[in-house]
């Protein structure tokens, strides 16, 4: 586990970026990929349900992303909360052990991947698999309070007047502690829908003297503000001001908004910027379905990638409805990440 000093935590990210040739690749959608493989995630636990029913499938999807070139894999804990597991009848101990399991599965996938790299002498096994030993980070996902509510409020960011900073911190505290103690390389606070929750995370990291670095990633549905309507500049400033935060950015947001959002974030961020948009399709929370034919193809998605990097992104991946093919295309389009040996 990292020592927790801000100098060392930021060196984790600096080293990763240097070894990746300047831009690191984040994995793609986990939950939607589990669904594409047949998992039924129509449940308040969403992908965390697979921690109970099909851990092998989670491991497979992590491996698929590693073999597509991801340098960072994000655990299946996005919608895994102690409160959510208890509502299903699990004890506190069982709930905490399920959280730990999400990190264990990702670490196992990394170990298996490294074994495959050792067994395979060429970087590309021939069927498009990228088998190249490189630094790989496991990021423990922390979804928002709105994600736990499972009513789409991670896309409204509206928690009502009664919600307070203290309540949000109490909601997340034990879960974040357990995840941090389970051996990930960093914490991924994802799809953060409002400023209050970003402040809660920042204060938690400081109060708990968290021994791990973290990234904060917001979502937007208008290309200007975060989904609640809070100012992205103010939200990014909360992340920028927190010593434990080593990257700040945007996820689960349509690709067409990313360039403009990057222009905003770069006004306040000196830390590395992470973007992992969704496929551009929209989610209908009432029908609990993605609306087809509103997204972009993998080719279109990838045509943006180098422009995002020019605009300041240094970690790029995909969120909901992106697949290993999207991630492989991102990896391949990045200069310095070619799988072929350098020319003599
Ligand atoms: C709604 S955003 C979901 C992010 C999460 N890492 C997942 O892919 O499942
Ligand atoms: Zn998403």
What confidence tens digit (pLDDT) does each residue in 281-299 have? Answer: 877 777 777 776 667 888 8
Query: Taking the alpha carbons of 83, 89, 92, 93 in that order, is the dihedral positive or negative?
Result: negative
The answer to whether 214 and 201 are in contact (CB under 8 A) is yes
Residue in 65, 283, 320, 323 to alter for ligand 1 test, most ligand atoms within 8 A of Cβ: 320
Mean pLDDT computed over 259-279: 97
Asked whether residue 252 is marked as a ligand-binding residue, the answer is yes
The answer to whether 195 and 225 are in contact (CB under 8 A) is no
Residue in 47, 188, 250, 278 to alter for ligand 1 test, most ligand atoms within 8 A of Cβ: 47
Angle formed at CA 226 by CA 80 and CA 24, multiple of 5 degrees: 70
Q: Which two tokens stand for residue 38?
A: 């047949």
Question: Which atom belonging to ligand 1 lies closest to the Cα atom of 34?
Answer: 9
Tell me which DSSP letter residue 201 carries: H
Q: Which residues neighbour 38 within 8 Å (Cβ) at sequence distance 6 or greater?
A: none
Cα–Cα distance, 67 to 57 (Å, whole number): 15
Backbone angles phi, psi at 266, to 5 degrees: -65, -15
Distance 319 CA to ligand 2 centre (A): 4
pLDDT (0 to 100) of residue 106: 98
Distance 29 CA to ligand 2 centre (A): 6
pTM of the model: 0.94
Question: Which atom belonging to ligand 1 lies closest to the Cα atom of 74?
Answer: 6
- Ligand that comes closest to the CA of residue 193: 1
The answer to whether 268 and 240 are in contact (CB under 8 A) is yes
pLDDT, tens digit (0-9, with 9 covering 90-100), for 62-90: 999 999 999 999 999 999 999 999 999 99
**CA quadruple 48, 261, 165, 216: dihedral, nearest 10:** 50
The DSSP bridge pattern shows strands 289-291 and 282-284 to be antiparallel
The mean pLDDT of the chain is 93
Cα–Cα distance, 195 to 91 (Å, whole number): 32
Angle formed at CA 187 by CA 167 and CA 329, multiple of 5 degrees: 130
- Ligand that comes closest to the CA of residue 78: 1
Q: Show the ligand 1 pocket: residues with CB < 6 angstroms.
A: 29-31, 47, 74, 78, 141, 190-191, 252, 319-320
Mean pLDDT computed over 93-119: 97
pLDDT (0 to 100) of residue 128: 86
For the cut 50, the answer to whether the pLDDT of residue 343 exceeds it is: no
For the cut 70, the answer to whether the pLDDT of residue 344 exceeds it is: no
Distance 133 CA to ligand 2 centre (A): 28
Distance 118 CA to ligand 1 centre (A): 30
Cα–Cα distance, 197 to 202 (Å, whole number): 9
The answer to whether 230 and 194 are in contact (CB under 8 A) is yes
Of 47-61, 242-256, 326-340, which range is least confident? 326-340
For the cut 80, the answer to whether the pLDDT of residue 259 exceeds it is: yes
Q: What residues pair up with 139 in beta bridges, in sequence order? A: 74, 186
For the cut 70, the answer to whether the pLDDT of residue 323 exceeds it is: yes
Question: Which atom belonging to ligand 1 lies closest to the Cα atom of 191?
Answer: 2
Q: What is the helix (H) or strand (E) element at residue 210, kind and residue range?
A: none
Residue in 48, 78, 280 to alter for ligand 1 test, most ligand atoms within 8 A of Cβ: 78
pLDDT, tens digit (0-9, with 9 covering 90-100), for 24-48: 999 999 999 999 999 999 999 999 9
pLDDT, tens digit (0-9, with 9 covering 90-100), for 157-206: 999 999 999 999 999 999 999 999 999 999 999 999 999 999 999 999 99
Cα–Cα distance, 239 to 244 (Å, whole number): 9
- Ligand that comes closest to the CA of residue 41: 1
Q: For ligand 2, a single-atom ion, which residues have Cβ within 5 Å?
A: 252, 319-320
Asked whether residue 320 is marked as a ligand-binding residue, the answer is yes
Q: Which domains does the chain possess?
A: 6-333 (3.20.20.330)
Distance 122 CA to ligand 1 centre (A): 32
pLDDT, tens digit (0-9, with 9 covering 90-100), for 137-157: 999 999 999 999 999 899 999
The answer to whether 274 and 26 are in contact (CB under 8 A) is yes
Tell me which DSSP letter residue 130 carries: B
Q: Which two tokens stand for residue 265?
A: 């974030």
pLDDT (0 to 100) of residue 176: 98
Distance 161 CA to ligand 1 centre (A): 26
Distance 131 CA to ligand 2 centre (A): 26
For the cut 90, the answer to whether the pLDDT of residue 127 exceeds it is: no
- Ligand that comes closest to the CA of residue 144: 1
pLDDT (0 to 100) of residue 294: 64
Mean pLDDT computed over 204-232: 96
The answer to whether 61 and 50 are in contact (CB under 8 A) is no
């Amino acid at each position: 586990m990292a020592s927790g000093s801000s100098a060392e935590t930021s060196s984790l990210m600096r080293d990763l970026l240097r070894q990746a040739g300047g831009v690191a690749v984040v994995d793609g959608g986990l939950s939607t990929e589990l669904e594409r493989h047949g998992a039924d995630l129509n449940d308040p636990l969403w992908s965390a349900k697979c921690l109970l029913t099909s851990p092998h499938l989670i491991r497979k999807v992590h491996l698929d992303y590693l073999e597509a070139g991801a340098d960072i894999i994000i655990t299946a804990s996005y919608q895994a909360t102690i409160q959510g597991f208890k509502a299903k009848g699990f004890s506190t101990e069982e709930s905490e052990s399920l959280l730990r399991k999400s990190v264990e599965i990702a670490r196992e996938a990394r170990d298996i991947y490294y074994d495959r790299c050792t067994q395979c002498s060429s970087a590309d096994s021939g069927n498009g698999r990228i088998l190249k030993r490189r630094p790989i980070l496991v990021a423990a996902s922390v979804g928002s309070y709105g994600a736990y509510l499972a009513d789409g409020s991670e896309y409204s960011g509206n928690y009502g007047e009664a919600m307070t900073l203290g309540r949000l911190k109490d909601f997340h505290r034990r879960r974040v502690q357990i995840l941090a103690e389970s051996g990930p390389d960093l914490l991924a606070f994802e799809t953060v829908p409002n400023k209050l929750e970003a402040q809660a995370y920042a204060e938690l990291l400081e109060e708990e003297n968290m021994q791990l670095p973290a990234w904060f990633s917001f979502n937007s549905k208008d290309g200007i503000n975060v989904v609640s309507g809070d100012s992205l500049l103010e939200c990014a400033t909360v992340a920028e001001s927190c010593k434990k935060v080593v990257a700040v950015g945007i996820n689960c947001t349509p690709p067409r908004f990313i360039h403009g959002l990057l222009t905003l974030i770069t006004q306040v961020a000196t830390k590395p910027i992470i973007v992992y948009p969704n496929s551009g399709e929209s989610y209908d929370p009432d029908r609990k379905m993605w609306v087809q034919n509103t997204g972009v193809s993998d080719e279109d998605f990838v045509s943006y990638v180098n422009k995002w990097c020019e605009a300041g992104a240094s970690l790029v991946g995909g969120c909901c409805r992106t697949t290993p093919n999207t991630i492989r295309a991102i990896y391949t389009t990045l200069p310095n990440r070619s799988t072929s040996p350098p020319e003599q």
